[in-house]
Amino acid sequence: MPEGDTLYRTAVVLREVLTGREVTAARGGIAGPALSRVVGTHVDRVGAQGKHLLVGFDNALTLHTHLRMHGSWHRYRPGERWRRPPSRAVAVIEVPTAIAVCFDAPTVELLDTRALAIHPALARLGPDLLAPEADLRAAVQRLRDPSRAELSIGEALLDQTAQAGLGNVYRSEVCFIERVDPFLPVADIADDVLQRLLVTARRLLVANRLGPSRTTTRDALGGEATDTGPRRHGGRLYVYGRAGRPCLRCGTPIRTRVAGAVPRRTYWCPACQPATPRTDDGTSASRPRR
């Protein structure tokens, strides 16, 4: 599913084929935006902001898409056969040398570029964890907002207004790597632990931003992989999608549960991620939560 690394990669590919080129044809899906308004313009910017993708045109319009669970952007050569049915295309941008097609994205809108700053979703985004200047301390402060005190850390890591770019796969992986129970309320987690979660999240996103396949268990991602043998298991992920299989660190069966205001599936190791508040020195305090 698309997370910040996917969008970063998509932006790299689309930037390469679209930037500076004249739009020769464009259309949206049924009831989608009137993309004919950008025909004849040149693409002057392609960028990812968290899980949002923005394509800017030199007539002061910007195409905004959000892929949610099932959307994707494809790049084709002229005449090449599409890998999804044309009826599922929600945005098509043609330049002389390529066709960029967005399939199945629930959010597709053509905006006045100046209005991006007040866009209800974009303007509220937390620091983009993939941005070179990502301010992780600011993200910790946003996590500390009283409105999130009782939110579980697993849910808070998905909250794009706290920090942008993380999705369902990474939030489980990040909590596992940092040995934090994903169901602990944010209020029970010390600042330095929040900071570590974000540092690890950023490291995973950066390491995976150019693909080809998402992994959290590479040696390059830290000391985690060396002793725990994930390479022997051939596993690309520690816990996500591994319910009932042995933890790659301790052998305990990985558990899974659907939770949250917007129900999403979480994976964790009950032994490595004990249900107790995390203190500054990384040890577990005594108040059990589950």
* Residue 171 tokens, joined: 């939030």
Query: Tell me, what DSSP letter sits at residue 104?
Result: S
The reply to whether 272 sits near Zn ion by the rule CB under 5 A is yes
Stretch 238-267 residues interacting with Zn ion (CB under 5 A): 247, 249-250, 252
Is 106 among the residues known to form the active site?
no
Least distance to Zn ion, CB of residue 228, Å: 9
Options 68, 264, 265, 274, the catalytic residue: 264
Do the Cβ atoms of 178 and 197 come closer than 8 Å?
yes
Q: How far apart are CA 283 and CA 252, in angstroms?
A: 20
Residue whose pair of structure tokens reads 């150019």 in the numeric block: 210
Strands (E), the chain: 25-28, 43-49, 52-57, 61-66, 72-76, 89-95, 98-103, 107-112, 255-259, 264-268
Is 264 among the residues known to form the active site?
yes
- The secondary structure of 18-32 as a DSSP string is HBTPBP-EEEE-TTS
- The secondary structure of 173-198 as a DSSP string is HHHHHTT--TTSBGGGB-HHHHHHHH
Least distance to Zn ion, CB of residue 200, Å: 16
In the complex with Zn ion, which residue's Cβ is closer, 133 or 227? Answer: 227
In the complex with Zn ion, which residue's Cβ is closer, 8 or 267? Answer: 267
Least distance to Zn ion, CB of residue 268, Å: 9
Strand partners, 66: 52, 107
Least distance to Zn ion, CB of residue 225, Å: 14
Binding string, 117-156, against Zn ion, x = CB under 5 A? ----------------------------------------
In the complex with Zn ion, which residue's Cβ is closer, 201 or 272? Answer: 272
Strand partners, 152: 185
Least distance to Zn ion, CB of residue 269, Å: 3
Options 2, 33, 127, 182, the catalytic residue: 2
In the complex with Zn ion, which residue's Cβ is closer, 211 or 229? Answer: 229
Options 9, 33, 51, 178, the catalytic residue: 51
Strand partners, 63: 55, 110
Is 3 among the residues known to form the active site?
yes
Among 271, 275, 276, 279, binds Zn ion (CB under 5 A): 271
Do the Cβ atoms of 82 and 90 come closer than 8 Å?
no
Tell me how many residues contact Zn ion (CB under 5 A).
7
Do the Cβ atoms of 43 and 56 come closer than 8 Å?
yes
Q: How many other CB atoms are found less than 10 A from the CB of residue 261?
A: 9
Is 218 among the residues known to form the active site?
no
Least distance to Zn ion, CB of residue 272, Å: 3
Catalytically annotated residues: 2-3, 51, 264
- Enumerate binding residues for Zn ion (CB under 5 A): 247, 249-250, 252, 269, 271-272
